[in-house]
Amino acid sequence: MRLPYLGAAVVRHVLPLLLSVSQLAAVAAAAAAASDPPTPSPLWIQPSGEWYGIDGTWSNFLFYVGSPAQVVYLTVATALSEIWVISTGGCVPVQLCIDARGGVFDSSQSETWRSLGAWQLGMNYTGMGGNGDYGLDTFAFVNTVTRISTSIKGALVAAINDTDYYEGYVGVGVTQGRFGSNLTTPLISQLAETYGTIPSHGYGYTAGAYYHDDGKNSGTVASLTLGGYDTLRFKPHDTTFSLDPLTRLPNVRVRGITAQVTSMDHAPTKNWTSTERPLVTMDDSIIALIDTSTPYLWLPTEVCERFAAALNLTWREDLGVYVFRDGAQYTQYQSDTSLSFTFTLSSYQNADNFGQPLNTPGVVNITLPSAAFAQLLRYPFKNVIQWGNSSIPYFPLKRSTKEVNNNQYIIGRVFMQEAYMITSYDRATFSVHQSLFPINAATNYSLEAITRPIDSPYPQYQAPSSPSQGLNSGQIAGIVISALISGSILALVLWFCLLRKRKARPKEPAPQEEENKEGPQAAEEEDDEPRSPVKRMFTKIIRKKRSRKPVAHQTDGSTEHPVEVGADAQHQVFEMPVPPEPVELDSHDVGDEETEFGADRTDGLSQYEITRRKLDRQLQGPAVR
């Protein structure tokens, strides 16, 4: 349908209304856009500021498990894809034990706990076994800097009672778990695939260091960013390593570990012949897993003995670690800046030597001060240290044997105090950087996203398509407002077009009404203004149009009863006679019942016939006398 042309006057009055409507629609669209889910971005996990451990002093993170929420303090595990918490069975009801283990979780008190049963814990390569009570539950954490909380439903949680694992862990791996017929999704995969909170499957992490002052004499806390990394916590470079293609774990080739002193006067023992002492060489062919669930360096026995000889360490069979000679040596390690250790690493499949294995392209060097290895063993480690006994200073080094951990070599948490690792599971790569220690690291951070490549093997987040979940309240409100506005505009235009068409159509005036329209009644109709502002506007426009048009009086045409004479030559033209004007009769006493001569009698006539005879006499004119 083609709409009639709108005159300039109409456009002048309607255009401001349309502009106001468009502005309202824009506001509605902006409100709907503002309520859309935010773009995925890196998720910074705020450190707790607390330091725990019976095998050292380690920074951790505060999380909430279950409904209602129960507080637990967890340490990051780079080779674990699950969440491990300490169950109430792992502590007698003594607050000292509960605090030392970072809080306990009681699954019976959680309304959202879904038990999967008891299963074996999957980290035998660390020399520890045990079972865990597995289940799915709510897992949450809060960023008090931005006041943003994140909650994950159905996270895989294992509640453990064994004291081999004294603190709980939050795994940042992406290996799915299978428990009978139940297939579970790791934390990072849930955030990236299910919730769309983070942009990719990846993270950035450093363990923090108690011996680095952050301006408050409290150590520099750990840093964990999911889906990105913190640019304030490392020195950048472009060298990346490959993740294991099967396990997606961060394995590296240890090309060398070298101890160095600033001068021979600071050599730990007298058997040093130079300021550098190689402890691990390329010939050792060590491929190690970077796993922060354990604090130690797990190395071959012969390599461990090199450490002991160069650093004057003692093996304790009952403890299963190397310890310092005495407390004085421990104190010296804490404050001595002249002794350091450099780890030379490359990707596990990079076996290039070229005669200079420590200077080959693709090699990364990470240096640790001696304070990184100055740690303490505390009660109740291995049930050897009893309540009330003094802590034992030790060097975090363990022998890796077939009997203990099937010769699995590990670079543990002690290394990650001075290293920052960026892992991208989507690209199957990771990088290791020298850590930085900014002031106020507990609240000071600068994040960059780890982008998701197009060819990622992991599913991408898909927004829910169901009506109940696809639109939020803001989007629904925007759509409703836009629909109402659009419908109102269309109805207004159609109404105006129909009104103009109706006004332009010729009308047949009723008898004697056209004359009366010019009388008082017409004036009253002109003065009766509509109450609606929109109607008032269009009424004024229509009046202006109507006042410019002459009024035409016509009778309706008809083919059955023509009102005009046919225009052919057989018809003669006659002028219609004008009837004589009615003549008023002389007043007399004679009634209408009889004439002057008494010839017309009205006896027996009805009132109708009497009236008709009276009218006939009036039309005949005056009587001829």
The parent domain of residue 292 ranges over 43-461
**pLDDT at 137 (0 to 100):** 98
pLDDT at 523: 45
In the beta sheet, which residues pair with residue 297? 397, 411
**Residue in this structure with the two tokens 């005669």, named with its chain if needed:** 355
List, for residues 37-62, the tens digit of each pLDDT value.
568 999 999 999 999 999 999 999 99
Report the pLDDT averaged over residues 571-598.
Answer: 47
Q: Does residue 522 belong to any structural domain of this protein? A: no
Q: Do 299 and 286 contact (CB within 8 A), yes or no?
A: yes
**pLDDT at position 502:** 67
- Position 486 scores a pLDDT of 73
pLDDT band at residue 541, thresholds of 50, 70 and 90?
low
Give how far Cα 339 sits from Cα of 207, 213, 308, 442, Å. Answer: 21, 19, 15, 28
pLDDT value of position 93: 79
- Higher pLDDT: 128 or 58? It is 58
Alpha-carbon gap, residue 112 to 136, rounded angstroms: 8
pLDDT over 80 (residue 200): yes
Which among 287, 283, 284, 266 is positioned nearest to 275, based on CA atoms?
266
What pLDDT does 122 receive? 84
**Is residue 47 domain-resident?**
yes
Residue 529 lies in a domain: no
Task: Tokens for 574, please give them.
Answer: 């006659």
User: How many CB atoms lie under 10 A from the CB of residue 281?
Assistant: 18
The CB-based long-range contact list for 351-356 (8 Å cut-off, 24+ gap) reads 351/253, 353/282
Q: What is the pLDDT of residue 568?
A: 47
Across the chain, mean pLDDT equals 82
pTM: 0.72
* DSSP code of residue 194: I
- Pairwise CA distance, residues 198 & 189, whole Å: 9
| Residue 553: φ, ψ to 5° | -110, 120
195, 36 contact by CB (below 8 A): no
Residue 178's φ and ψ, nearest 5 degrees, are -120, 125
Do residues 227 and 200 make contact, with C-beta atoms less than 8 angstroms apart? yes
pLDDT at 172 over 60: yes
pLDDT in the model for residue 38: 62
Phi, psi of 83 (to 5 degrees): -115, 125
In sequence order, which residues have a C-beta less than 8 Å from that of residue 172 and are 6 or more positions away? 76, 77, 78, 80, 81, 187, 188, 203, 205, 224, 226, 423
Cα four-point dihedral sign 6, 12, 14, 16: positive
Per-residue pLDDT band for 467 (boundaries 50, 70, 90) equals low
Q: Are 295 and 396 in contact (CB under 8 A)?
A: yes
Residue 458 has pLDDT above 70, yes or no: yes
Does the residue 371 lie in any domain? yes
For residue 92, name the pLDDT band (cuts at 50, 70, 90): confident
Residue 384 pLDDT > 80: yes
Q: Where are the beta strands (DSSP E) in 243-374?
A: 251-261, 276-280, 286-290, 297-299, 314-316, 321-323, 339-347, 364-369
Is position 239 within any domain?
A: yes
Residue 466 resides in a domain? no
Q: Where does the pLDDT of residue 481 fall: very low under 50, low under 70, confident under 90, or very high at 90 and above?
A: confident
Tell me the average pLDDT across 502-510.
58
pLDDT at 82 over 60: yes
Report the percentage of the chain scoring pLDDT > 90. Answer: 60
User: Three-class SS of residue 512?
Assistant: coil
333-370 pLDDT, tens digit per residue, is 999 899 999 999 999 999 988 778 888 899 999 999 99
What does the block give as tokens for 2? 């083609």
**Confidence tier at 305 by pLDDT (50, 70, 90):** very high
Which segments of 43-167 are extended strands (E)?
Answer: 43-45, 47-52, 58-65, 70-77, 83-86, 114-120, 131-143, 148-160
> For the chain, how long is the longest CA-to-CA vector?
174
Does 142 score more than 90 pLDDT? Answer: yes
Closest CA to 81 of 155, 29, 142: 155
> What's the total number of domains in the chain?
1
pLDDT for 147 equals 92
Report the CATH number that the domain containing residue 393 is assigned in CATH. Answer: 2.40.70.10
Between 91-95, 484-488, 606-610, the lowest mean confidence (pLDDT) is in: 606-610
In a domain, 85, yes or no: yes
- Give the residue, 132 or 520, on which the prediction is more confident: 132
Residue 171: its H or E element = strand 168-171
The better pLDDT of the pair 67, 588 is held by: 67
Average pLDDT of 412-424?
A: 99
DSSP 448-475: EE-PPPTT-SSPPP----SHHHHS-HHH
- Average the pLDDT over 460-488 and give the result: 70
Read off the pLDDT of residues 215-261 as tens digits, 9 standing for 90 and up.
Answer: 666 899 999 999 999 999 999 999 999 999 999 999 999 999 999 99
Sheet hosting strand 202-206, strand order edge to edge: 43-45, 223-226, 202-206, 419-424, 429-434, 241-242
Is the preceding peptide bond at 396 cis, omega within 30 degrees of 0? Answer: no
Model confidence at 516, pLDDT cuts 50, 70, 90, reads very low
Whether residue 511 is contained in a domain is answered as: no
Handedness of CA 415, 418, 422, 428 (dihedral sign): negative
pLDDT above 80 (res 495): no
Q: What is the mean pLDDT of residues 379-405?
A: 94
Partners of 435 in the β-ladder: 234
